[in-house]
Amino acid sequence: MPLEMLELDKIGEVLKAKGPCVTLFLPPYSPGQPGHSAAAILKANLQEVGRKLETGGFTKEMLHPLEKLVNDPELAAGSTWGRVIFCSPDVFQQFRVMRRYYDPPVIAGSFALRTLLPELWLPKEFLVLSLTKKGVSVQKFTDGQWKTMSLPEGVPETLDEAMAFDAPDHTLVNRSYAGTSAGTLKGVRFGTGTERENKHGHLTDFFRMVDRGIHQMFPTEEMPLILEGVEEEVAMYRSVGNYKGLLGESLRNYADKLDNAYSILSHDFIRRESAAAREEKERLHYSRFATDPDVIVQAAFDGKVNHLYIDEQAVRSGAFAKDGYTCWGDEDLLNLAAIQTMRNRGKAVVLPPDAMPGEVAAFATLRF
């Protein structure tokens, strides 16, 4: 049975789990490719995790589901997707992930979700509209695969179809009185514009029809749309399209379409979250936000953090004492803050250093 994709509404038990919490990352692997299989990586990780658990005074009984997984035929068969595995005394869950993660196993009082935050917030469904001078095609990425979609009835998918709706202007033949300078000619043939202008006009009208079709398919305009094509066609479509979900970056015939599409989605997400963080910092009174990691962790446990922005390169480790929570040695305190923020219905994201509101490891807006 295929693994479910990692999504926020599916990790409630992961957020609430008590330690020791083991997080394992398995990269995609296809039999015959160089490198170790997912099963071999998992087996090696289990040996390391088992030693650490015994050192900490815990038995390896909680690892039994992982030991069974090592011999699972589906794992040995390989997969184009990576997976993340969460294992604790009370939780065993695994999910498919879109990006490739090569992180070492983590044992802590909470699961390691900081690395996976982009995976939680990026859309799992989006559109790619491929543009050429001859026609268009629409693909939707959903359920981990590409599906070709048809435009609504009456919306052309090729330029020839669009031109059949109306007589192309450049084929109209008009005649004018020649005048004395034309010699013995009785008339001069002319079009209503240059050939280049007419082709541009036809293509513009065609793209306008396609845009209307996209609106019909997704009237809420929430489905992200990425354009694919050469610069001229992409610029022409942008000049006539007004679909709100249209993203600013475009694919340009990259070999790995999915990976590059996710990069575009990620850049758009970072841009919007960075703008929101800077706006909140300017708008809110200083008492309504925090930048000290220790203060943020405490506020997250108390349910006070509404929105948490974390520098993806920041390192803040240490032990944290709180009733009902036990650290497993020095932990990633920013990961702990993210876990508690989401557990209390806040939002936690990671941003590049230059997208953060100032040179801080973390920035949190507070509810009260």
Where does the pLDDT of residue 164 fall: very low under 50, low under 70, confident under 90, or very high at 90 and above?
confident
* In the chain, % of residues over pLDDT 70: 88
Q: Please tell me the predicted confidence (pLDDT) of residue 189.
A: 40
Q: Please tell me the predicted confidence (pLDDT) of residue 1.
A: 58
Task: List, in order of start, the domains of the chain with CATH numbers.
Answer: 1-112 (3.30.960.10), 126-269 (3.30.420.60), 284-368 (3.30.1330.30)
Q: Please tell me the predicted confidence (pLDDT) of residue 321.
A: 80
pTM (two decimals): 0.84
Assigned token pair, 27: 């990269």
- Report pLDDT digits (tens) over 1-22: 578 899 999 999 999 999 899 9
What is the chain's Cα-based Rg? 28
- Report pLDDT digits (tens) over 195-227: 555 667 788 999 999 999 999 999 999 999 999
Contact 251, 278 (CB under 8 A): no
Where does the pLDDT of residue 73 fall: very low under 50, low under 70, confident under 90, or very high at 90 and above?
confident
Task: Round to whole Å and give the CA distance between 220 and 32.
Answer: 45
Q: Please tell me the predicted confidence (pLDDT) of residue 75.
A: 81
Q: Please tell me the predicted confidence (pLDDT) of residue 72.
A: 86
Neighbours of 62 (CB within 10 A): 19
- Report pLDDT digits (tens) over 259-302: 899 999 999 999 999 999 999 999 999 999 999 999 999 999 99
Contact 3, 97 (CB under 8 A): no
Estimate to the nearest angstrom the gap between the alpha carbon of 113 and the chain centroid: 16
Q: Please tell me the predicted confidence (pLDDT) of residue 218.
A: 95
Q: 368 versus 309: which is more confidently predicted?
A: 309
Least confident window among 110-124, 249-263, 283-297: 249-263
Average model confidence (pLDDT) across the chain: 87
Neighbours of 189 (CB within 10 A): 9
Task: Round to whole Å and give the CA distance between 325 and 306.
Answer: 21
Q: Please tell me the predicted confidence (pLDDT) of residue 183.
A: 47
Q: Is the pLDDT of residue 231 over 60?
A: yes
Looking at residue 82, what DSSP letter applies?
A: E
Contact 248, 152 (CB under 8 A): no
Q: Is 259 helix (H, G, I), strand (E, B) or coil?
A: helix
All residues at 6 or more sequence positions from 351 whose CB lies less than 8 Å from its CB, including other chains: 270, 273, 274, 277, 309, 310, 311, 312
* In the chain, % of residues over pLDDT 90: 62
- Cα angle 80, 84, 89 (rounded to 5 degrees) comes to 150
Three-state SS sequence of 191-219: CCCCHHHHHHHHHHHHHHHHHHHHHHHCC
Task: Round to whole Å and give the CA distance between 336 and 354.
Answer: 23
Q: Which of 101, 43, 109 is nearest to 70 (CA)?
A: 43
Q: Is the pLDDT of residue 177 over 80?
A: no
**Mean pLDDT value of segment 308-326:** 90
Q: Please tell me the predicted confidence (pLDDT) of residue 199.
A: 64
Q: Please tell me the predicted confidence (pLDDT) of residue 210.
A: 95
